[in-house]
Amino acid sequence: MDEVLTLRKGWKNWRLCHRDCGPLVVAWALVCGVLLTSPGSSEADNSVLPYVRTGLEAELPPNSARSVRSLPPEAVAGLKGWGHLYELLTRHGTDHQVAFEILSDERMPQREKLYFSLNPRESKHLYRKHNTPLARQNAVRFYRNHYRYFKEASRVYRVPDSVILAILQVETNCGRYTGQSRTFYRLARLASAATPDNIKANVERSRRKADLAAVRERAEWLEEHFLPHVVSTIRLAEDMKVHPLEVRGSGAGAIGLPQFLPGNVYTFGKDGNGDRTVNLFEPADAIHSIANYLSEHGWDSNRPLTIKDKRQVIWAYNRSDSYIDTVLAMASALEPQLTDVERNLESLFRSLSVKGVIGRRLAEPAKQ
């Protein structure tokens, strides 16, 4: 079945559960080697503003123009330091009017220096609090409420439901904390790491006089890795029928229950409930999308997988040994509890199915 990413009622759920994900944000920042700083007051309010036109649009060059130097001085000032990103976006196919409107919008903060590490590291205990009895209790409750989607995803993509559930719990507490940061802004900062002034600032900040070539290489990696997700955020906002600066997620730019970067919504997102849309704020779609992601990176329950194999797959999801340790430990701890839930629910389904169609509908798997 074709999967069409489109607006529907479920997308409104993203406004209902957007608190920052705490250590998860820090972990992704560490993987990227980025120091997350305050975004300033411009990021906090004006949540329902439309595109803000400045009156300068008529002076902008044709869409083929890619250099910020070709803009009038007033337009350059309106970009608030995002000229480099403006050039990158237009070079990669974003309409120059759209790029200018987003970057000059009053909700878009002034660009600031982005300091990053050449060798990011993290604490081994960063995710310790995520694998607790209380956390597993919440996960089991979520599993029970969305049982049929877990079972179908596990069958279709050959990924254990315990691993899918563990990732959902560690990432967003099964959807309770998906983040309230402006996704476009957070990703824009990362994609702007390679500006000359930012590279210079990182070299000067280094205590050991960091090698210019090493700093530039790291900055260019950040730009290359995150620019596609900035572009995808614009596309995602269009599909959601919201302004790009109103797409919300973690401080690291990830969105939804599974905390996918925007580009991965299109690459790995799946319609789990058969409504022909992909919405990662919907449990069914989030469950199927995680399963698909892991499957695409090599998880296959039909063949023997070593611990090394499993770690390699989850590494693709989050490049953190601490994260992998926590997910695998939680999945192992959840398995007997999920078996009990399955036994009880299947018994209930069989009992109800004897009485009529209600039981059969409860037991019926979701349609693709």
**What is the reported pLDDT for 40?**
40
Band of the pLDDT at 15, cuts 50, 70, 90?
A: very low
Band of the pLDDT at 32, cuts 50, 70, 90?
A: low
> What is the pTM assigned to this prediction?
0.79
The two counts, helices (H) then strands (E), for the chain are: 15, 2
C-alpha of 207 from chain center: 33
Domain residue ranges in the chain: 34-119+182-249, 128-178+257-363
More confident residue, 354 or 231: 231
Band of the pLDDT at 54, cuts 50, 70, 90?
A: very low
Burial 227-244 (b: 16+ CB within 10 A, else e): bbbbbbbbbbbebbebbb
Measured torsion, CA atoms of residues 183, 188, 189, 190, in degrees rounded to the nearest 10: 90
């779609």: which residue's tokens? 285
Band of the pLDDT at 71, cuts 50, 70, 90?
A: confident
Phi, psi dihedral angles at 359 (to 5 degrees)? -65, -40
The whole-chain average pLDDT of the chain stands at 83
CATH class in words for 128-178+257-363: mainly alpha
Cα gap 67→79, rounded to integer Å: 13
